[in-house]
Amino acid sequence: MTDDFMLKPTIRPRRLRAFPAMRNLIAETRVSPAQLMLPAFVRDGIEEAVEIPSLPGVFQHTVESIRALASECVKAGVGGIMLFGIPNTADKDEQGSPAWDPDGILNRGIRAVREEVGDELVVGADTCLDEFTSHGHCGVLTADGQVDNDATLPLYAKMALSQARAGAHMVAPSGMMDGQIAVIRQALDEAGFTDTTVLAYSAKYASAFFGPFRDAVACSLEGDRRSYQQDPRNRREGVFETQLDLAEGADMVMVKPAGYYLDVLADVAEMSPVPVAAYQVSGEYAMLEAAVANGWIDRERAIDESLHAIVRAGADTVLTYWALEYAQRVK
């Protein structure tokens, strides 16, 4: 073998990277607007949409402005919207009863969006008490301040039923209470909502990257949620939690956060017989936007890379605050 041969390779992977059309032709991973869901906030007691300081470009919406946002999502081809409600602080109580009030802010938001878009957009609703409890935890508390798993389950069922009655196509239990999927599925079925989808937050970690979200929903939490959300140091536990939710009847499962848990996401995607979602959380969004604001990274390339990484790891659906923007741009 001559030195001249060694200087002239015949196998050249760069041929398939030479220009954009070629790269697009053979791309292994593609992100479609139809597989994205936009997390969106609807807040009681405001007259116009209010930008969230820690999430630049993301707003707390009125019931009317959330209608307009949903309509924009339809026009852009976004697949779904996930609604979170923010009640007046004075309305919160220890049980989180505004969560299942038919006239509570989240259920009013659900009704408004369904009236606006019908079935052209999947309308999901966060099924958790943390925005509605005076203490900010995802369930009711015992006398010594611990979250009472079993006492919380019937409240989740009431919340899910109220959301289904308001028009949610999908309920999304995110509280990480043991047994929550089975209880919600049974309640929905017994009430005749057999077609309402349950998206289980199956592998939800006690992450530091939820910080801006808690700002967005004006959460009253003191302390942390480490006794019920998963330990970020654990990987196998994510698959185990997913197996439990599948056995209880989850229609879809989720890994949250997404970007820092791609190993868990890949594990779940490999074993799950149902579609897998991943939530690109508020801290992931805020960090990238902060880096952009400082001129450190290319914004569009970084957004695209982050979304493709999540889909490449196995997500069928991605919840991301860039859903509408990305869809409008690629369309």
Which of 8, 92, 158, 256 is labelled catalytic? 256
Q: Is 8 a catalytic residue?
A: no
What residues are paired with 197 via a beta bridge? Answer: 170
d(CA 328, CA 248): 37
Calculated CA dihedral for residues 319, 148, 250, 325, nearest 10 degrees = -10
**SS3 assignment for 148-176:** CHHHHHHHHHHHHHHHHHHCCCEEEECCC
Q: Is 92 a catalytic residue?
A: no
Q: What CA–CA distances, in Å, run from 97 to 152, 158, 159, 221?
A: 12, 10, 9, 16
Side-chain half-sphere exposure of 199, counting CA atoms within 13 A: 30
Q: What CA–CA distances, in Å, run from 114 to 52, 105, 167, 172, 309?
A: 25, 14, 6, 17, 32
Q: Which residue has the tokens 């059309």?
A: 21
Spell out the residues 6+ positions from residue 236 whose beta carbon is closer than 8 angstroms to its own: 267
What is residue 275's three-state secondary structure?
coil
What residues are paired with 272 via a beta bridge? Answer: none
Burial class (CB in 10 A: 0-12, 13-18, 19+), 239: middle
**Helix 323-330 vs helix 63-76: crossing angle, to nearest 10:** 30
d(CA 140, CA 133): 8
Burial class (CB in 10 A: 0-12, 13-18, 19+), 1: exposed
Neighbours of 56 (CB within 10 A): 14
Q: Phi and psi (nearest 5°) for 154? A: -65, -25
Which of 8, 75, 158, 204 is labelled catalytic? 204
Write out the catalytic residue numbers. Answer: 204, 256
